[in-house]
Structure 1
Amino acid sequence: MSGFVSGRMRAGNQTIRLATRFALRELRGGLKGFYIFIACIALGVAAIAGVTSVSRALTEGISREGQAILGGDLSFSLIHREADPEQIAYVESLGETSRAATLRAMARRSDTGDQALVELKAVDDAYPLYGSLDLASGQPLGAALSKQDGVWGAVADISLLARLDVEVGETLSLGHATLRVTDFIQNEPDKLSGGLEFGPRLMISDAAIADTGLIQPGSLVRWHYRVRMDPSPRIEALDGIVTQAKSAQPDAGWRIRSRANASPGLQRSISRFAQFLTLVGLTALIVGGVGVANAIRAYLETKREVIASFKCLGATGGFVFQIYLVQMLMLALIGIGIGLVIGALIPFAAGAALAGVLPIELAASIYPAELGLGLLYGLLTALAFALWPLGRAHDVPPTALFRDIVTGGSKLPRKRYLFATLVTVLALAAIAILLSQDKEMASIYLAASAGAFALLVAVARLIMIAARRVPSVRSTELRLAIANIHRPGALTPSVVLSLGLGLSLLVALALIDGNLRRELTATIADQAPSFFFVDIQSHERDAFETLLKDEAPGATIQSVPMLRGRIVSLNGIPADRFVPARDGSNWVLRGDRGITYEESIPENSKLAEGAWWPEDYSGAPLVSFDLEAATDLGLDIGDEITVNVLGREITAEIANFREVEWQSLAINFVMVFSPNTFAGAPHAHLMTLGWDQPMPTETELALLKTVSNAFPTVTAVRVRDAISQVNDLVEQLAWAVRGASSITLIASVLVLAGALAAGHRSRIYDAVILKTLGATRNRLIVAYGLEYAILGLATAVFAVIAGAIAAWYVTTQIMGGSFVMMPVTAAGAALIALVLTVGFGLIGTWRILGEKPAPVLRNL
């Protein structure tokens, strides 16, 4: 003790070294009592490090295979039209070029008339420039697509063959052409670059596309020109090449991508999902922080005599704080180290598990930056939850430390420790927000978590106050259970905090998923039309509408002109440089948008601001913009928007804003132009058909067969099929989100177990004294079971309320949908809380009740 009993403590590094020596001496007894502490930190760090590493591995995998995914080093895309000779000459000057056309069409069996929506791709002889398109038989693609005996060959996804019950060698009708299925596709290298698909792939030669009759003026077809450059430029040089290409052909109106962003939609999805999972991992760390605080409090409780001895021999409160802070940091580093090892291994495990699922190979590796992020989060979380209980020991005199088991230690720590805790928490939140792709969403998530945490503390206090004020009951077991809820050192705060946040998150996710499914399968399905008919040519429009009226009398039919355009600039600012008013709201600026023109306000829209143009308007082009999208972008009436349509750039002034009912899936557009804007421009028409009441599937399929046979070049999209596919995607995503979010629940269980373990000592005293006074084991089991059941039920009630509020906000305010409460979800949350609290509580209590009274009583 001579190191600090002189009355004056050594300063600086010597004091820290001395504190470290004492910390190490006390840890010689092992890590007993800190297993939950280490497990909580390790779980959260592993989740964050693993998620960010897998995200990086996916992104690196996309970048590494960017050439194959994109189909070249560069890709030039046009909609509605092919490139003109001058533009083709420029593209070919960059390197070897391959041309492909993609569109949706209807493939039909000639004998039965069965049909299916397909994603059609017409390719030339140079395809693919990178990667390999593998066919089941191993034959070359050119041979499979060649024309034999006057019939063009085609290859397809095996799902199309199964859907239409077609064998290899049999024929299909596509538009006006007959195709022979010569093989099925096993691997398509550039499949990811196409985005969301509503049907299986059917691939033909570009020489066959003219025979189908599908390419008409205004047809919804995309032309892709891929370039293989020799030598292949470095990633850093691609942006300059893209900029040069835009300058060389400023009026081309094409979308240019490089292998650096081969699949931007997928990369955005990966980033957003990784961001969400990182926040979930952070939530698990925060929940685990409760376990950290519980473990430190329990550990300091066992060190009362040691701390008292230190202080009696002259140690200052600051020195005592340093000793146990060093111990905490050492233990935290052990947990962080375990978490980092697990996190570093997760990309390799994910790569092996998803090898047959993902269309790309994960670039599994050890990523120091992502592991460093997990280290930083782990340290900050450990400090945020350790400083408070460690700081409380600073000013407590030795006599109070000996009485701490009675007083409960409610005194606040010094201001310096409160300030340090606040700074650590703010730093943790700032890092999480600054590193997020959607900072607004991250801020809302963290604010909601902080609010839930504060509410849980308040709920725990209210439960204890309510239990204290409950009138005395006759049942001895229930009276003992109620007393245990509000007594000093009760488990109530720990149980409510440990389970409340994790259950609230799971309830919120379950309700969001359930309401999204309800919106898709019920509300939208009831309001939506039954069919969308695309690529109806102007000369076919009247005959097509007549056919629909004859075959579906009483159905509601809507028709509008349909074009595709891309926003080039807003108020003179190029779209790729425009900064939206809200983060993550620039979806309108990405890719092509459907546009139309109307003389009057469209149905399912309501004029919100501004005035509509007259029916005979002939002035400068005007446009009506969706109010929500305009607000997100920060646009006002009078602003100018330039769009590229059919290779022409058209600038229009915003005349008004509309409120659009997107949920109905009726014909709606972000941008509606004045009719004179596209006078004389070639375009197709979009038509919908819907009944006022649900129709049998047989009726819909019969109409689909009739329409497809009469108008083979018109593409029909059955809404039920589209909703079913989206629902399947939502289901897969929901399971992934729930699985990832279960990390939080696992952390909650760990903290619950730690809280029960922390109360083990006092429970032994209670059980021994009560048994000495005549209580039976069965009575004590019932009393403890009632206590845990009350706490579990109270926590479940809070989780249901908090989760429902969070789900309501996300569903109605962010997703723009409607919300209904789902009792089964609430019951499930209550059941989980009851099973966990009662189960873990009784397991620990059973061991306590087995303690012999004599050894315990001798130590009282």
Structure 2
Amino acid sequence: MHGTLSRQDRTPPSRLPLTLRLALRELRGGLGGFAVFLACIALGVAAIAGVASISRSLSDGLGREGKRILGGDLSYSLINREATEPERAALDAQGRVDVVASLRAMAVAGEGAALVELKAVDSGYPSAGELVTEPQAPLAGLLAERDGIDGALADPALLTRLDLKVGDRLTLAGRPFAIRATIVSEPDKIAGGIGFGPRLIMSQDALRRTGLVQPGSLNRWSYRLILPGADDAGLDAAAARIAAAAPQAGWEMRARTNADPRFSKSIERFTQFLTLVGLTALIVGGVGVANAVNAFVERKRPSIATLKSVGAPGSKVVALYLTQVMLIAGLGTAIGLVVGAALPFVLDALFRDSLPLPLNPTLAPLQLLQAAAYGLLTALAFAITPLGRAHDVPVSGLFRDTVDPAAARIRPRYRLILALALAALVGLAVGTAFDRRVALIFIAAAGIAFGLLRLVAVGVMVLARRLPHPKRTAPRMALANLHRPGALTPAIVLSLGLGVTLLVTLSLIDVNVRRTISATLPARAPNLFFLDIPAADSNAFHDFLARQAPAAKIERVPMMRGRIVALDDVPAEKIRPPEDAAWVLDGDRGITYAEDVPEGSNIVAGKWWTAEEAKTPLVSFEAELARNLGLKVGSRVTVNVLGRNLTATIANLRKVEWRNLGINFVMVFSPGTFRGAPHSDLATLTLPGGTNGPIENRILRDVAKTFPSVTSVRVKDALDAVGDLVGRLVLAIRGASAVAVLASLFVLAGAIAAGHRARLYDAVVLKVLGATRGRLLTAYGLEYGALGLVTALFGLLAGTLAGWVIVTKVMRLDFVLDLSGALVAAAAAVVLAVVLGLTGTWRILGQKPAPYLRQS
């Protein structure tokens, strides 16, 4: 009927741009050939998004559980002393105050002795959260004194160590305690930091009856304020009033909004490290992206030729296929974001009861957006070069590229896009980094690694081209495959090289850290440390040790605890030091005084004080920390000790050898600075034969019985605790690094898949000429074996260099070249390259020539 429109005519025209419509239309055929592309992008984005999501969930968990972790809304801590009456009045004026005392002590049971982390609580504990015990009962009843015996709650590890059970007794400072229950869950455990012994909880009345609290003894008193209904502004106002009422208290203040700033900083640092590992996986995966896009352009040659033959400009062709690539990259990014965002929820569902940290699973939009930006920018940076190559190649060249690839250079516009994408990646990595210096070092190292691997690949190809041709067919084919047009050499060297370098680096770091903890330090370090030696008993204690171990070396020094409150009259809270020096201003430090230069120290600036000068307030400061804090000879340091602010002038700077674990301090004062101040002594005992378990255990037991107020620390136990922590961190690093290694495997598989068409063409021609499958396999095996060997050698050298830099310059440890684990990784790389290579070409070798000859 005239004027009637057909159904097709009535369909409204699409408002999408033509390029996007064409890209979507071509994608209807599926994503064949983009499996590796998707895997590389999704894996890298999932790693970054997962790390960021877990970090955000931990931070939110710390914030949500801040009051429980801290034990109150505000906490004020003092070292070596209790609050004075005016200080306590300033706290009581703001709200309810609960008090917790913590210190280390020696518990004795029968012939055994063990270091314990002692916590003495008042009747209000816990003011937030719940203390879970086995058996569960009211805390007051568990800790009450019965028939002259006080009760205590013990960590199950303590019962195991001393072979005790609930109902048994142990002694502290010669006073018996009955174990009434074991500790299942302690609400404020995180705020206590890392302990070197199991927990033991008692009442404060029981603690005072032990006599462990003495002037100068090492103990911490925490005053926790409960301010019902107070918001963040109310907390700030209360803190300001307390600061005005007790300006010289020298206490450490925390609020529930930032219950453990040191732990939060540790989360941020570790998050940055794992994010950089995830970025490594993404960059490695970028090589897979480039390989996949190269293969994509190769498959699209007929389409590209058709478009250009009907008048489509080169820019339109590039825009069309770049749109397709970025749409696929968007899909891979979305998959990675879903996996990464789900990780904290999965962790919470599976391990909620066993997680040692409060996790508040939540979506982190900003962090997910950053992960998406990483993925899309990586895809763009690695895809634009192979796509840009098609712009200026003529139609005839596109059809001829199968046997005669054109070496066209990409136009400046595509180079500009590449430069902008790389600049955006660098800006994102640096701008979002906790430590920008570390981020810049990583970026520089990644750039150098890429450049070196590219040079290695070019060098291999040049060398293969110049070597004399072997007479045997298989070696001659393998040599030709290394340098021919479209060779897999650059892709395999780059992907496998980065993976091997990472594995070797981690192996060497792991070996050296564990060696330092388990071997080097105990050989040079003291066997035992003794803390809280009363000054009045110092000589008697020295004589006692001399009788117990006549051949041992005994050292002792006076020790107090002090907190830096100002440098050159600038308050510590207004100073912004470098990250590696911030710990000096964060909390209290051990300090001492001495007439002579301590052993293990060398004066590098200024001079040591004379006997006359020692009567005035002077201080010797550790040289490197002084430099990081902007201090020099003549600078003024103000410390708060026992509630008093004391200012001393820096007389000299010392270089300290910390790794021998001898007695040394950041700050050593002149004797006149603390004349008359109460203090305890610190002593070390070094046996001539190194670690000796039976003698050490005997001394620990006898010291605990004879000098019950002295705290003994076995160096091996402390190192074991540190080693356990390091082991967990190394395990986490290995897990994250496995993502980068997995990306390398994807890229390697993708590189082999990308060369499928060229290998297929070769196999068909060679089989027509009479080549057997065995001969072809031998040729390919030699090719992949040579590439694996070259890559493994590079990985060994580069990984060893990177490991040496990190161990000696960052960790500042002695470096020992132990390549046992590294050689295993390198050998695995060679085997992997050969196996994956032959697996990828096996299907090619089984193809019949006839169908492909008919197509040619």
Whether 2:112 is the aligned partner of 1:114: answer yes
Q: What pairs with 1:699-714 in structure 2 (closer than 5 Å)? A: 699-714=695-710
Shift of residue 634, structure 1, vs aligned partner:
2.5
Question: Secondary structure, in 3 states, of the residue corresponding to 2:709?
Answer: coil
Q: Distance in 2 between matches of 1:841 and 1:235?
A: 61
Partners of 2:153 and 2:182 within 8 A in 1: yes
Counterpart for residue 22 of structure 1: 22
Indicate the residue corresponding to 2:336 in structure 1: 339
1:617 to 592, 613, 620: 613
| TM-score calculated relative to the size of structure 1 | 0.96
**CA–CA distance in 2 between the matches of 1:311 and 1:689?**
84
Aligned runs of 1:633-712 on 2, under 5 Å? 633-712=629-708
Indicate the residue corresponding to 1:761 in structure 2.
757
SS in 2 for 1:148: coil
Given the alignment of the two structures, is residue 579 of structure 1 paired with residue 576 of structure 2, yes or no? yes
Asked whether the 8 Å contact 1:175–1:213 carries over to 2, the reply is yes
SS at match of 1:197: coil
- The correspondence for 1:324, drawn from 306, 321, 326, is 321
1:739 and 2:739 matched: no
- Alpha carbons 2:508, 2:819 under 8 Å: kept: no
496-505 or 643-652: bigger deviation: 496-505
Q: Does 1:401 align with 2:407?
A: no
- Following superposition, the deviation at residue 237 of structure 1 comes to 4.5
Residue matched to 2:256 = 259
Instruction: Tell me, in whole angstroms, the C-alpha distance in 2 between the residues paired with 1:563 and 1:474.
Output: 80
Whether the 8 Å contact between 2:619 and 2:670 is mirrored in structure 1 is: yes
1:444 matched residue in structure 2: 441
Provide the rounded CA distance (Å) in 2 between the counterparts of 1:728 and 1:288.
33
What's the counterpart of residue 10 of structure 1? Answer: none
Match of 1:4 in 2: none
Counterpart code for 1:632:
N
Tell me the CA shift for residue 667 of structure 1.
0.6
How well do the aligned residues superpose, as a CA RMSD in angstroms?
1.6
Q: Does 1:37 align with 2:27?
A: no
Matched with 2:829 is: 833
Checking the alignment, whether the CA contact within 8 Å between 1:19 and 1:319 is kept in structure 2 is yes
1:821 aligns with 2:813: no
- Paired letter, 2:197: G
Question: CA separation of 1:408/1:528 partners in 2, compared to 1, >3 Å: closer, same or farther?
Answer: farther
Cα shift at 1:409 = 4.0
Match of 2:192 in 1: 194
CA distance in 2, matches of 1:811, 1:308: 55
SS of the aligned residue for 2:228 comes to coil
Indicate conservation of the 8 Å contact 1:534/1:714, yes or no.
yes
- 1:312 to 2:309 alignment: yes
SS at match of 2:799: helix
Compute the displacement of 1:411 (Å).
3.0
Counterpart of 1:681 in 2: which secondary structure?
A: coil
Does residue 132 of structure 1 match 2:130? yes
Q: Is the 8 A contact 1:195 1:265 kept in 2?
A: no
Q: Letter of the aligned partner of 1:97 in structure 2?
A: V
For 2:528, the equivalent position in structure 1 comes to 531
Kept in 2: contact 1:119–1:201 (CA 8 A): yes
1:856 maps to amino acid? Y
Counterpart Cα distance in 2 of 1:682 and 1:497: 64
Question: Is residue 54 from structure 1 mapped to residue 54 from structure 2 by the alignment?
Answer: yes
| Distance in 1 between residues matched to 2:245 and 2:379, nearest whole Å | 56
Alpha-carbon separation, structure 2, partners of 1:398 and 1:818: 61
For residues 168 and 491 of structure 2, what CA distance do their matches in structure 1 show?
68
Q: Secondary structure at the match of 1:118?
A: strand
Distance across 1 between alignment mates of 2:102 and 2:393:
75
Structure 2 match to 1:8: none
Deviations 1:179-216 (A, max 9, x none): 11111111110000011100000011000111211111
* TM-fit CA distance, 1:430: 1.6
Evaluate the alpha carbon distance shift between residue 603 and residue 143 of structure 1 in structure 2; reply closer, same or farther with a 3 A threshold.
same
Contact 1:449 1:501 in 2 (8 A): no
- Report the TM-score, using the length of structure 2 for normalisation: 0.97
Residue number among 156, 168, 175 corresponding to 2:173 in the alignment:
175
Please state how far the C-alpha of 1:400 moved relative to its aligned partner. Answer: 2.3
Structure 1 residue 853: Cα displacement: 0.7
Separation (CA, whole Å) in 2 of partners of 1:399 and 1:468: 28
Report deviation, 1:620: 4.1
Match of 1:95 in 2: 95
Shift of 1:92: 1.4
1:303-324 CA-to-partner distances (Å, cap 9, x unmatched) read: 1222122222221111111111
- Deviation of residue 731 (structure 1)? 1.2
Kindly provide the CA deviation profile for residues 667-688 of structure 1, in whole angstroms up to 9, marking residues without a partner as x.
1111111111111100001000
Q: How does 1:430-509 map to 2 (within 5 A)?
A: 430-509=427-506
Structure 2 counterpart of 1:772, one-letter code: V
Q: Is the 8 A contact 2:322 2:387 kept in 1?
A: yes
| 1-structure distance, mates of 2:237, 2:631 | 30
Q: Does the C-alpha gap of structure 1 residues 448 and 240 become closer, same or farther in structure 2, counting only changes over 3 Å?
A: farther
Query: Does the 8 Å contact 1:98/1:225 carry over to 2?
Result: yes
Contact 1:155–1:202 (8 Å) recurs in 2: yes
Matched, 1:67 2:67: yes
Distance change in 2, residues 1:712/1:583 (3 Å):
closer
- Displacement, 1:69? 0.5
Give the counterpart letter for 2:507 in structure 1.
A
Q: CA deviation at 1:525?
A: 1.1
Name the CA distance, whole Å, in 1 between partners of 2:700 and 2:810: 36
Task: Determine helix, strand or coil for the equivalent of 2:28.
Answer: helix
How many residue pairs were aligned?
844
AA of the residue aligned to 1:212? T
Residues 282, 375 of structure 2: 8 Å contact kept: yes
Q: Distance in 2 between matches of 1:308 and 1:522?
A: 67
Shift of 1:632: 2.1
Contact 1:344 1:371 in 2 (8 A): yes
Alignment of 1:144-293 (within 5 A): 144-231=142-229, 233-235=230-232, 237-293=234-290
Distance (Å, rounded) in 2 between the aligned partners of 1:695 and 1:665: 14
Indicate if the aligned counterparts of 1:799 and 1:829 stay in contact, CA closer than 8 A.
no
Give the SS at the match of 1:405.
coil
Q: 1:243 to 1:455 in 2, by over 3 A?
A: farther
Structure 1 residue 474: deviation in Å? 3.7
Q: 1:810-857 CA deviation, whole Å, 9 max, x = no partner?
A: 110111111121221221221221232112111111111111110111
- Secondary structure of the structure 2 residue equivalent to 1:636: coil
Moved more, 76-85 or 694-703: 694-703
Separation in structure 2 between the aligned mates of residue 47 and residue 676 of structure 1, nearest angstrom: 57
Post-superposition CA distance 1:75-124 (Å, at most 9, x none) = 01000100011111111122111111100100001xx2310000000001
Deviation at 1:615, TM superposition (A): 2.5
**SS in structure 2 of the partner of residue 207 of structure 1:** helix
CA–CA distance in 2 between the matches of 1:411 and 1:655? 68
Amino acid at match of 1:567: I
Contact 1:439 1:583 in 2 (8 A): no
Taking the aligned partners of 2:691 and 2:378, their CA distance within structure 1 comes to 57
1:399 is displaced (CA, Å) by 2.4
Question: How many angstroms does 1:796 deviate by?
Answer: 1.2
- 8 Å contact 1:438–1:584 — kept in the other structure? no
The one-character-per-residue Cα deviations of 1:675-733 (angstroms, maximum 9, x if unpaired) are 11111100001000102322431111112212221111100000011111111111121
1:513/1:609 CA distance change after superposition, 3 Å:
same
- Among residues 355, 358, 362, which one is paired with 1:358 in the alignment? 355
Cα offset, 1:15, TM superposition = 12
Residue identity in the other structure for 2:165:
E
1:353 is matched by which residue type in structure 2?
Answer: L
* Structure 1 position 367 matched with structure 2 position 364: yes
- Please tell me whether the aligned partners of residues 294 and 494 of structure 1 are also in contact (alpha carbons under 8 angstroms): yes
The answer to whether the 8 Å contact 2:522/2:691 transfers is no
| Distance in structure 1 (CA, Å) of the matches to 2:525 and 2:127 | 42
- Between stretches 352-361 and 546-555, larger displacement belongs to 352-361
- Give the 3-state SS of the residue equivalent to 1:216 in structure 2: coil
Q: Structure 1: 5+ residue runs without aligned partners?
A: 1-13
Moved more, 131-140 or 441-450: 441-450
Question: Are 2:796 and 1:800 aligned?
Answer: yes
Partners of 2:506 and 2:36 lie apart in 1 by 27
Please report how far the alpha carbon of residue 18 of structure 1 lies from its aligned counterpart in structure 2 after TM superposition. 1.4
